[in-house]
Amino acid sequence: MAEGTNPCATFRDGSDIVLDYCCYVCEQNGVQRESAQYCEQCSKCYCDVCVPLHDQMFKMHLLVGRGDMQRWPVSRATVDALTLCQEHNHETITAFCEDHSALCCVKCLTLKHRQCYKVEVISDAVKNWLPVDHQTMLQDLATQMQRLQTLKTAREENKKTLSTSCENILAQLSDFRQTINAVLDKLEKKTVKTLESLNTTFVDSIENDLKRCHKEVTELQSLKEIVKSIEKKDEQKVHSLTYIANVKCVNKLAESRSLMQEISKVKKYQMNFEIQHDIVHYLSTLCGLGKLRTYNPYHILSINGDPAKHQPTQGSIRGICEISPNIIVVAFFEKHLVQLDIEYNVCCKSSVFTSSVFTSAFDMCHINVDEFAVTLDNDENHIIEFYKSNKNTLSRTKCLFLPHRCRGIAYNMNYLYVTSGTALHQYLLDGSLVKTLYEDRSYEFTVYKVAVGTGRIFVTNNSGHQLIALSMDGNLLAKFRNPLLRTPTGVHVSTTGQVLVCGRTSNTILQIDGESLETLLVVATGQDGLNNPHSIYYSETTTTLLIGQDVGLLVLKQ
């Protein structure tokens, strides 16, 4: 702030800059000039021009410069800021309304506090008031300013996350629209194929009939020419030929009539197309391509009731994915997939992956609609396989071979986020590397599993017993450590923003504040059935917590 300006103008009314200390002499002459010295004996301020005049008249007075402002009086600007009414700028505060805890000017008293019982003039109110230490007021103001700044920062961060959420939803809409387009294209191709096949069948039949008719006409014409050639000959000489010609005519005419009868059974081939109006009708009844929901990422997940343990097959479950509200797919370390229904019963299994050599499954993620990806890894092969779920069948669609280990995987806005154990890499769906976002080679498994949500990336540091928060461009934001979290493996961000992380050796699942990385709740422990958890997923549809463990799947209902 510039020296000589009013520090309280903004508080009072946001008016133009005014002088805080005006020269007394100049002000008496109608001139606004900034004071340079203050005389304690005169209790007046003087500018550089008037100071020599003051010194001539009062040689024994001591002047105090701006270097010792503590000895100056309270500035007029400060007095105005405190005593002028905030609502009526040019009115002075004269009273205090205890009923409303409000400072009042004359206009306030007249317009708003005429019916109030406890109203005192300031001079009377001060008599019964116990003074408060200035440092206490300053501390209270500073504390409140800090709280407001924290709130402001949180709201700004919320604005950013909302923008990210909007981008994510737009990407989901685009993906879903492409999926719908693909389904419609597929239906169109099937219909066109059926049409072309039917048309080909009819055309081939007609062309065959035309060929047969043409053949019959040609043969009849040939026989007709033969009969004509023997018609005017001596009957005695061609008697036998006439007999043969007659037999042939009878047979050929019978054959032609039979052909005509056969062809005439089909009067005419015709086609029409009946549109499936139900499709248009159903789409027209929808309010949109989905439901927009608001949610509270700080909602606490409380687990009620006894845990129900399900073991589709024996083995360690390393990844869990919800394909639809009725379909769950889990990936086993022992290199096979299992699809479960809404009651967690086995629908189908897939035990054959692309790689002919032994690899282990480490994680999986949902891509879109009915597609998901699985990471497979060993010392020599580092693979991501893509699958589709369709009517209780799992079919592989493509496979990517990467130059580094494949452990954790997440998908967000057309990008794959893949961990190698010591680094986090960002890929396109075709396997093209975008960039390496984060790296920590201090130890093995420092970048183990990954989850993306709420505008942040979360990775587990398995060897360092930490959960790490990164910005979307890979900058380190914070590290979380808790004695209750040992050897963290799976991390999950639900669609409603809850951040969950499981500790394998501590047998715990913690709910974390995604912004401050503080523990909100210990969701489950060994007493709830946890036994070396590796993966975690929270289903919004069934409000169920699914935990993949060394001994199968643990289901905890909220």
Most confident of 126-130, 156-160, 449-453: 449-453
Indicate if 115 and 181 belong to the same structural domain: no
Indicate if 342 and 465 belong to the same structural domain: yes
Looking at residue 15, its pLDDT comes to 43
Classify residue 391 as exposed, middle or buried by CB count within 10 Å of its CB (0-12, 13-18, 19+): exposed
Q: Residue 479 corresponds to which amino acid?
A: K
Q: Residue 553 corresponds to which amino acid?
A: L
Q: Tell me: the pLDDT tens digits for 273-284?
A: 888 888 888 888
Q: Tell me: the pLDDT tens digits for 424-438?
A: 999 999 999 999 999
Return the minimum-mean-pLDDT range out of 5-19, 170-184, 456-470.
Answer: 5-19
Looking at residue 478, its pLDDT comes to 92
Looking at residue 61, its pLDDT comes to 92
d(CA 283, CA 264): 45
d(CA 88, CA 82): 13
Q: What SS3 string covers 136-187? A: HHHHHHHHHHHHHHHHHHHHHHHHHHHHHHHHHHHHHHHHHHHHHHHHHHHH
Whether residue 417 is contained in a domain is answered as yes
Looking at residue 252, its pLDDT comes to 86
Whether residue 397 is contained in a domain is answered as yes
Q: Tell me: the pLDDT tens digits for 441-456?
A: 999 999 999 999 878 9
Single out the residue in 219, 251, 285 at which a domain terminates: 285
Whether residue 512 is contained in a domain is answered as yes
CB contact at 8 A, 76 and 20: yes
| Residue 385 binned pLDDT confidence (cut-offs 50, 70, 90) | very high
Cβ burial 64-95 (10 Å sphere, 16+ → b, else e): eeeeeeeebeebbbeebbeebbeeeeebebbb
d(CA 93, CA 104): 5
Most confident of 189-198, 221-230, 257-266, 348-357: 189-198
Indicate if 230 and 331 belong to the same structural domain: no
| Residue 354 binned pLDDT confidence (cut-offs 50, 70, 90) | low
Whether residue 303 is contained in a domain is answered as no
Whether residue 516 is contained in a domain is answered as yes
- Quick one: average pLDDT of 219-240? 79
Indicate if 379 and 414 belong to the same structural domain: yes
Compute, in degrees rounded to 10, the torsion defined by CA atoms 81, 82, 88, 93: -150
Neighbours of 241 (CB within 10 A): 14
Indicate if 73 and 184 belong to the same structural domain: no
Indicate if the pLDDT at residue 2 is higher than 80. no
| pLDDT above 90 as % of the chain | 36
| pLDDT above 70 as % of the chain | 91
Q: Which residues span the domain enclosing 234?
A: 155-285
User: Between these two residues, 309 and 56, which has the higher pLDDT value?
Assistant: 56
Dmax over CA atoms of the chain, in Å, equals 175
List the Cα angle 152/157/159 in 5-degree steps: 95
Looking at residue 304, its pLDDT comes to 61
CB contact at 8 A, 418 and 425: yes
Whether residue 298 is contained in a domain is answered as no
DSSP string, 495-547: TT--EEEEETTTTEEEEE-TTT--EEEEEE-GGGT-SSEEEEEEETTTTEEEE
User: Between these two residues, 457 and 550, which has the higher pLDDT value?
Assistant: 457
CB contact at 8 A, 25 and 53: yes
d(CA 282, CA 373): 31
| Residue 4 binned pLDDT confidence (cut-offs 50, 70, 90) | very low
Indicate if 426 and 500 belong to the same structural domain: yes
Q: Tell me: the pLDDT tens digits for 526-542?
A: 988 899 999 999 988 88
| Mean pLDDT over the full length of the chain | 85
- Quick one: average pLDDT of 69-77? 81
Indicate if 90 and 213 belong to the same structural domain: no
Indicate if the pLDDT at residue 312 is higher than 60. no
Indicate if the pLDDT at residue 169 is higher than 70. yes
Indicate if 279 and 335 belong to the same structural domain: no
Indicate if 226 and 343 belong to the same structural domain: no
Quote the DSSP letter at residue 443.
S
Please give the backbone phi and psi of residue 124, each rounded to the nearest 5 degrees, phi first: -75, -40
d(CA 27, CA 7): 20
Looking at residue 50, its pLDDT comes to 94
Indicate if the pLDDT at residue 189 is higher than 90. yes
> What is the enclosing helix (H) or strand (E) of 394?
strand 394-401
Residues 6+ apart with CB under 8 A from 63: 37, 38, 39, 46, 51, 54, 55
d(CA 6, CA 12): 10
Distances in Å between the alpha carbon of 247 and those of 217, 223, 250?
18, 11, 5
Chain CA centroid to CA 208, Å:
61
d(CA 97, CA 112): 10
Whether residue 337 is contained in a domain is answered as yes
d(CA 376, CA 383): 5
User: Between these two residues, 331 and 237, which has the higher pLDDT value?
Assistant: 331
Indicate if 342 and 220 belong to the same structural domain: no
List the Cα angle 35/38/40 in 5-degree steps: 160
Indicate if 313 and 409 belong to the same structural domain: yes
d(CA 498, CA 475): 21
d(CA 32, CA 22): 6
- Quick one: average pLDDT of 226-249? 79
Please tell me the total count of domains within the chain: 3
Side by side, the strands of the sheet bearing 382-389 are 360-368, 371-377, 382-389, 394-401
| Residue 10 binned pLDDT confidence (cut-offs 50, 70, 90) | very low
d(CA 76, CA 84): 11
Neighbours of 497 (CB within 10 A): 17
| Residue 357 binned pLDDT confidence (cut-offs 50, 70, 90) | low
Indicate if the pLDDT at residue 365 is higher than 50. yes
Whether residue 485 is contained in a domain is answered as yes
Looking at residue 351, its pLDDT comes to 61
Distances in Å between the alpha carbon of 394 and those of 59, 175, 223, 366?
102, 21, 67, 14
d(CA 313, CA 346): 9
Q: Tell me: the pLDDT tens digits for 318-331?
A: 999 998 877 889 99
Indicate if 428 and 531 belong to the same structural domain: yes
- Quick one: average pLDDT of 373-381? 91
